[in-house]
Structure formats: structure tokens, C-alpha cells
């Protein structure tokens, strides 16, 4: 473990097929006014909306609807949500959906009582929260982002072509999250596998950084092996409870701050992917999968020992008689073939990216400095070209 750090994560998780029954008890802790946040309405089709509304009404709550949260929540939507929260003196924001809905709920949670424009203060200037925070609770219907147990919140500004994620502190973490693996069954296959790779990318971006001997890397190897195993099962049978429940749990622990503690992290795949997302509105997980192989092959020479370890410990590459380079390359080939197998988008052309966009996407890519190689803008362009 490196350096000095603080770890605290007080989000209460209710996990399992019966986890929604705990909503009643949680609601009792908050006031009457509930902002019910959700996306495009799939929760109305699969019945979750009705179940949640019934519990809210039984609890005597006033429900203020805030539907239509888009896959990449916009700054305009944020302003709308803040107005609902403020106008109705909301006591709890209840997010029902996936990572975008949870991210948006947190943005409203800090934005509603912000005296300035919350986009400027919390996303452009990344300032700490110094105003009233409205508590957030989540009912998860799609896994991937880990937003149900962290302070992350990504908002997109189409006008300025910026997609920015603020990682808020513990006071903004959801107070509780309800994780029912069966709620993820109805998600279309494309969104499901995109979510799987989002999880994988979260782990890889924390794994591929640092030269120290760190327990977190061992934990992440375990998470990766379990994810690869369970996702292969889920792709064939999306209603395999064991597989879906493991994946839901891995998603949470991959990005609830634990595995990043006391180690360096990378996040360049997310930076490139988010910039692609701002230009194409493509599904987040697919923006990551489409650039990952080019990115990892590009940085592999700078972190060779770790890539070889990855090949052996995660992909069961037999190291006998092979050089470090060969082991690393074989590991990456295994990863590529797994990605194709589960049906991920493997190039950015399929996401609607054109040659003309590449320079702008690179320009919009925020350069992080924790990876094995600090990229230049030219290298980002190169990786994007290789990903076409």
C-alpha cells in the first residue's frame, strides 16, 4: 500500500432478490418529499416503477417525478432536475436505473442548493461541495458504473463538447442502494455487455499503474477472473442468477474507492472514451471497448512486467519458456478474443466516429498522468486511428 490515505464508505447495500423490501425502512428515515429520478421508461415496462411507487405511496410520500434521464445526462437536464428539487423542497432523491441515473441524482443532490451554476462550480472548476446536499438513494437496474456506492457523477455539455466526471466526497455517496440482480435481466444484450466492459475497464484502469507490490492488485486479479467467468455465462444465459449477482457485486466493488486506495491509477481509456461519447453519444462501455486494445498495446512496453503478470494471473498464460514480451502479448490476445466472444464493439468507426472527428476527440481528451505512459495528444490521435 502506498502513501497515506483515508477510506470510508458508509453506503448501505441491500443485495438480493428480496432487496426492494428494505426500501420501506429506508424511506422512514427521510422527509415526505421524494424526487423520483429515472430514465427512458423501461422501468415502467418491467414493473419496477409500479412496485417502487406503491412503496412510496404506502409510506405516505409526495412523489415528484423526474423522468427522462438520458444515457449521458446533459447539463440542461441537470438544471431541470435542480429546479424540481428546489421548487419542491425535496428530502430524498430516489434514483431508479443505471449509472447515468445515479450520476445525475448526485449532480442534482449537490446542484439544487448551489448558489452558482453547478456545471461551472462542480464540473468545470471541480470545486468541493459547500452547500446543502440532498440525500440520494439508488435502486439499480443496470450494472457497470459503480455509481451506487461512490461519489462519481459524469455530466455532458453538448454545447462545449465536454463530458466531465466529478468524483465527489463521502458526503455525496448514496445513503443506500438496493441491488437486485433480477432487475438487470431485461436489459438488452448490447447494453448488458457494454456494462460488463465498463466494469472490466474500471478494474484495468486501476490495475495498470504503479510498480509497487500492492494488495489491491491481487484483489483486482480476483475480481477480473470472477468477472470474465461470470460474464461468459451471462452472455449465454442472461437470467443466470449466480452469474448476474456476481457481476453486480463486482461492479460495485470495482469502483467504490476500495481497490484504488494506496495505489496509483490510470484512467486514460475512460478519458478517451468520454471524449468519444461527447462526439457520438455512443454507449459508454462501448467507447471503452473500442479503444482498449489499441491503448493497452500502446502502453504495454512501458509497463511490461505488469502486463506479463496480467497474462499469467488473469488469463492463465503458461509462462514457461516465454519472454515477458511474449507472455504480455499472449495475455492481450486472450483479452481481445474474450472481448469479441462476448460481443463488444471493437472499433470506433462502428460507434459513428469519422476520420474528421479524430483531432477534436483527441483535443477533448483530458490527459491523466497515473498510467505507465503519459500520452501526448499525438499519441491519443495515433490510438484513435488504430481503433478505427
Contact with a second copy (CB under 8 A) among 35, 150, 184, 246: 246
What residues from 11 to 50 belong to the interface with a second copy (CB under 8 A)? 11-19, 22
Q: Does 219 bind a second copy (CB under 8 A)?
A: yes
The DSSP 8-state label assigned to residue 260 in this structure reads G
Measured CA to CA, the distance from residue 139 to residue 38 in angstroms comes to 10
Identity of the residue, 176 or 267, whose beta carbon is nearer to a second copy in the bound complex: 176
Identity of the residue, 121 or 264, whose beta carbon is nearer to a second copy in the bound complex: 264
Measured CA to CA, the distance from residue 336 to residue 167 in angstroms comes to 30
Q: Does 261 bind a second copy (CB under 8 A)?
A: yes
Kind of pairing, strands 62-66 and 162-167? unpaired
Q: Does 128 bind a second copy (CB under 8 A)?
A: no
Q: List phi, psi (to 5°) of 221.
A: -60, -40
Sequence-distant (6+) residues with CB within 8 A of 2 are: 210, 212, 214, 262, 263, 264
Q: Does 211 bind a second copy (CB under 8 A)?
A: no
Contact with a second copy (CB under 8 A) among 9, 323, 360, 376: 9
Q: List phi, psi (to 5°) of 336.
A: -60, -45
Measured CA to CA, the distance from residue 157 to residue 176 in angstroms comes to 28
Q: List phi, psi (to 5°) of 301.
A: -60, -25
Q: Which region, judged by CB under 8 A, interacts with a second copy, from 3-11, 115-123, 196-204, 325-333? A: 3-11
Contact with a second copy (CB under 8 A) among 42, 150, 201, 230: 230
Angle, vertex CA 180, rays to CA 64 and CA 35, nearest 5: 10
Q: Which region, judged by CB under 8 A, interacts with a second copy, from 66-74, 156-164, 226-234, 357-365? A: 226-234
Determine the size of the site formed for a second copy (CB under 8 A): 46
Identity of the residue, 18 or 159, whose beta carbon is nearer to a second copy in the bound complex: 18
Measured CA to CA, the distance from residue 361 to residue 364 in angstroms comes to 5
CB of 20 to a second copy, least distance (A): 10
Contact with a second copy (CB under 8 A) among 116, 211, 242, 350: 242
Contact with a second copy (CB under 8 A) among 128, 171, 218, 360: 218
Q: How far, in Å, are 108, 142, 244 from residue 240 at the CA level?
A: 35, 15, 6
Residue indicated by cell numbers 448501505: 12
3-state DSSP call for residue 64?
strand
Angle, vertex CA 356, rays to CA 355 and CA 357, nearest 5: 90
Q: Does 289 bind a second copy (CB under 8 A)?
A: no
Q: Does 222 bind a second copy (CB under 8 A)?
A: yes
CB of 222 to a second copy, least distance (A): 4
Identity of the residue, 122 or 249, whose beta carbon is nearer to a second copy in the bound complex: 249
Identity of the residue, 160 or 171, whose beta carbon is nearer to a second copy in the bound complex: 171
Sign of the four-CA dihedral 379, 381, 384, 388: negative
Q: Which region, judged by CB under 8 A, interacts with a second copy, from 68-76, 248-256, 278-286, 360-368? A: 248-256
Sites of contact with a second copy (CB under 8 A): 1, 3-19, 22, 181, 212-215, 217-223, 225-226, 229-230, 242-243, 245-246, 248-250, 253, 258, 261-262
Amino acid at each position: 500500500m502506498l502513501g497515506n490515505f483515508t477510506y470510508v464508505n458508509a453506503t448501505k447495500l441491500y443485495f438480493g432478490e428480496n432487496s426492494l423490501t428494505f426500501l420501506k425502512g429506508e424511506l422512514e428515515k427521510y422527509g415526505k418529499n421524494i424526487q423520483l429520478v429515472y430514465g427512458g421508461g423501461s422501468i415502467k415496462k418491467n414493473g419496477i416503477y409500479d412496485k417502487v411507487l406503491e412503496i412510496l405511496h404506502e409510506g405516505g410520500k409526495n412523489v415528484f417525478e423526474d423522468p427522462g434521464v438520458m444515457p449521458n445526462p446533459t447539463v440542461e437536464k441537470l438544471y431541470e432536475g435542480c429546479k424540481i428539487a428546489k421548487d419542491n423542497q425535496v428530502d430524498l432523491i430516489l434514483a431508479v436505473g443505471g449509472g447515468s441515473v445515479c450520476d445525475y441524482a448526485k449532480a442534482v443532490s449537490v446542484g439544487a442548493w448551489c448558489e452558482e451554476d453547478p456545471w461551472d462550480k462542480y464540473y468545470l472548476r471541480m470545486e468541493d461541495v459547500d452547500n446543502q446536499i440532498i440525500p440520494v438513494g439508488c435502486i439499480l437496474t443496470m450494472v457497470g458504473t459503480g455509481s451506487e456506492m461512490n461519489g462519481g457523477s459524469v455530466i455532458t455539455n453538448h454545447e462545449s463538447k465536454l463530458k466531465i466526471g466529478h468524483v465527489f466526497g463521502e458526503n455525496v455517496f448514496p445513503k443506500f442502494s438496493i441491488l437486485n440482480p433480477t432487475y438487470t435481466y431485461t436489459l438488452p444484450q448490447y447494453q448488458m455487455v457494454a456494462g460488463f466492459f465498463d466494469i472490466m475497464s474500471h478494474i484495468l484502469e486501476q490495475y495498470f499503474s504503479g510498480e509497487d507490490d500492492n494488495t489491491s492488485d491481487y484483489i483486482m486479479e480476483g475480481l477480473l477472473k470472477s468477472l470474465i467467468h461470470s460474464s461468459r455465462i451471462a452472455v449465454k444465459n442472461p437470467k443466470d442468477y449466480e452469474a448476474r449477482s456476481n457481476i453486480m457485486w463486482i461492479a460495485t466493488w470495482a469502483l467504490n474507492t476500495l481497490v484504488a486506495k494506496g495505489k496509483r491509477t490510470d484512467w486514460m481509456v475512460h478519458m478517451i472514451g468520454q471524449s468519444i461519447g461527447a462526439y457520438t453519444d455512443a454507449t459508454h462501455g462501448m467507447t471503452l471497448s473500442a479503444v482498449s486494445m489499441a491503448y493497452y498495446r500502446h502502453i504495454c512496453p512501458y509497463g511490461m512486467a505488469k502486463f506479463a503478470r496480467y497474462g499469467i494471473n488473469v488469463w492463465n498464460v503458461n509462462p514457461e519458456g516465454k519472454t515477458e514480451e511474449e507472455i504480455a502479448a499472449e495475455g492481450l490476445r486472450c483479452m481481445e478474443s474474450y472481448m469479441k466472444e462476448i460481443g463488444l464493439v471493437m472499433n470506433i468507426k462502428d460507434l459513428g466516429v469519422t476520420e474528421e472527428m479524430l483531432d477534436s476527440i483527441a483535443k477533448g481528451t483530458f490527459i491523466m498522468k497515473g498510467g505507465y505512459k503519459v500520452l501526448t495528444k499525438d499519441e491519443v490521435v495515433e490510438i484513435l486511428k488504430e481503433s478505427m
